[in-house]
Amino acid sequence: MEINKELKVSLVLNNDKLHFNGVSRENEQISIDYTPPLGDNLGYTSLELFLLSISSCIVSTVLIFLRKKNIVISGVNINANGIRKEEHPTGLKNVDINIEIDSENLTNQEMDSVIKKSKEEYCPVISMLNKDVQVAVNYEIIRERKHVK
Amino acid sequence: MEINKELKVSLVLNNDKLHFNGVSRENEQISIDYTPPLGDNLGYTSLELFLLSISSCIVSTVLIFLRKKNIVISGVNINANGIRKEEHPTGLKNVDINIEIDSENLTNQEMDSVIKKSKEEYCPVISMLNKDVQVAVNYEIIRERKHVK
């Protein structure tokens, strides 16, 4: 597979605090801001964007490998949370990525194996982190999604 | 300043490829996808979100310090690009963040000092990276923005 080797984004400051509009290519702009008093809560914080980045990265990598094994996936929901360090620099010390995956033919063994390979060898975002950031990927396989009227 | 110690995001897979909607709090959803053939280019890639995260993080930290020094900032434009590694895991090996900052009373010396402090001690996103990721922060101080009719 050919990968896009160079990526570009741009941002513009919108006010006299910390509100930015950010964008890549022809995507819709993302509103980025910080919490009060420095910002006005008008958008995503940088660390929330990071959490979306790492979560989508690891789950995409996992799905690619599962599909290569002919696993049928009928739905995926992810809840991720991050805990910041209390002293500067206040990066995340823990990232927990919790995946609910709907599949009739996925086993725990396959999921464990694919998560391990993705974390250790393939997920680009995780590969850029240092060892102080603990990333846990948890999952639950849903055999039959209950549909509530 | 009190910081929000725990952050949360959620994502839902939307199709049988790699298109997700991601969100935090009450923000507008972000469309996240990968390039063809694995995805359909329907949104931001994980690494583009990472570039927005690191760019907004470093620039916000810089602005906070400049304002503490009573530097007046009337505009900021950022262009950031990232170069991926060619072998798996294909994370970014280089991140270049280019800042155009409009200010009447900012000096190069102050900007150099604040960028160094932000990169080395304060920017949460940069603090999570390993040494293989080279982050360069470049800037141009604009004394008078030309307004074109």
Query: Residue B100's domain spans which residues?
Result: 46-142
Please check whether residue B85 lies inside any domain of the structure: yes
Convert the pLDDT of each residue in A37-52 to its tens digit: 999 999 999 999 999 9
**Chain A residues close to B38, C-beta within 8 Å:** 1, 60, 64
Yes or no, beta carbons of A128 and B133 under 8 Å apart:
yes
In this structure, the answer to whether residues B83 and B33 fall within a common structural domain is no
Q: How many domains does chain B have?
A: 2
Strand (E) or helix (H) holding B96: strand B92-102
Convert the pLDDT of each residue in B73-124 to its tens digit: 999 999 999 999 999 999 999 999 999 999 999 999 999 999 999 999 999 9
Nearest C-alpha in B relative to A11: B78
Helix (H, G, I), strand (E, B) or coil at B106: coil
Nearest C-alpha in B relative to A78: B11
Please check whether residue A97 lies inside any domain of the structure: yes
Yes or no, beta carbons of B60 and A46 under 8 Å apart:
yes
In this structure, the answer to whether residues B72 and B116 fall within a common structural domain is yes
Whether ipTM > 0.90 holds is yes
Give the C-alpha separation, B111 to A57, whole Å: 34
CATH of residue B129: 3.30.300.20
